[in-house]
């Protein structure tokens, strides 16, 4: 009964490409995280993304390793979208959401602490937070960043 929140991998600068796809370093970091999750036996039923190129590319890499290979664009995941409204629609278990800052940080803070400004977790590009829910509410189960996924 977990939900996974992922900040997209490192993207190229807007001056290089206005669509901001993943950089080679960003792709490598996300691939490392995805491989680590696969080795750990993590599997998700659905991988969702914001629709921005860098989020979609990140979602595709992750879904190819720990999902069914499909990705789903969902609304409400842009950087400044309302986290309370988005949280109200979080119904699926074992779903992964690939998005952006500050939305993801505010969303996890809202879920865990009831305050979107609590600063519960610091996301990094390619980082993932696993959030679980029990009878007492949401809590962080684990956190993984690309540099940690390199440790074997």
Is the residue at 122 inside a domain?
Answer: yes
Is the residue at 51 inside a domain?
Answer: yes
Range of the domain at 129: 2-145
**Distance from C-alpha of 13 to C-alpha of 35, rounded to nearest angstrom:** 26
For residue 141, the domain's CATH number is 3.40.50.1240
Angle value at C-alpha 25, between 108 and 105, nearest 5 degrees? 10
Helices 24-39, 53-66: inter-axial angle, 10-degree rounding: 30
DSSP bridge pairs for 72: 48
Q: pLDDT for 22-47, tens place per residue?
A: 999 999 999 999 999 999 999 999 99
Is the residue at 150 inside a domain?
Answer: no
Nearest to 63 by CA among 99, 38, 91, 88: 38
Q: What is the DSSP code string of 81-106?
A: S-HHHHHHT---SSEEEEE-TTHHHH
Q: pLDDT for 109-144, tens place per residue?
A: 999 999 999 999 999 999 999 999 999 999 999 999
Residue 152 — very low, low, confident or very high, per pLDDT cuts 50/70/90? very low
**Distance from C-alpha of 21 to C-alpha of 96, rounded to nearest angstrom:** 20
Long-range contact pairs involving 75-81 (C-beta distance under 8 Å, separation at least 24)? 75/51, 77/48, 77/49, 77/50, 77/51, 77/103, 78/50, 78/52, 78/103, 79/103
pLDDT for the residue numbered 148: 74
Is the residue at 29 inside a domain?
Answer: yes
Quote the number of domains for the chain: 1
């Amino acid at each position: 009964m977990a939900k996974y929140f992922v900040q997209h991998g490192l993207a190229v600068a807007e001056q290089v490409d206005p669509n901001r796809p993943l950089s080679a370093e960003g792709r490598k970091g996300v691939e490392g995280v995805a491989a680590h999750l696969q080795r750990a036996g993590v599997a998700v039923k659905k991988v969702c993304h914001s629709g921005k190129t860098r989020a979609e590319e990140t979602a595709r890499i992750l879904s190819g390793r720990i999902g069914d290979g499909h990705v789903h664009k969902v609304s409400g995941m842009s950087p400044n979208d309302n986290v309370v409204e988005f949280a109200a629609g979080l119904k699926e278990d074992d779903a992964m959401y690939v998005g952006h800052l500050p939305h993801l940080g505010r969303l996890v803070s809202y879920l865990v602490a009831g305050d979107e400004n609590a600063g519960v977790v610091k996301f990094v590009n390619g980082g993932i937070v696993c959030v679980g829910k029990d009878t007492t509410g949401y809590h962080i189960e684990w956190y993984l960043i690309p540099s940690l996924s390199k440790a074997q």
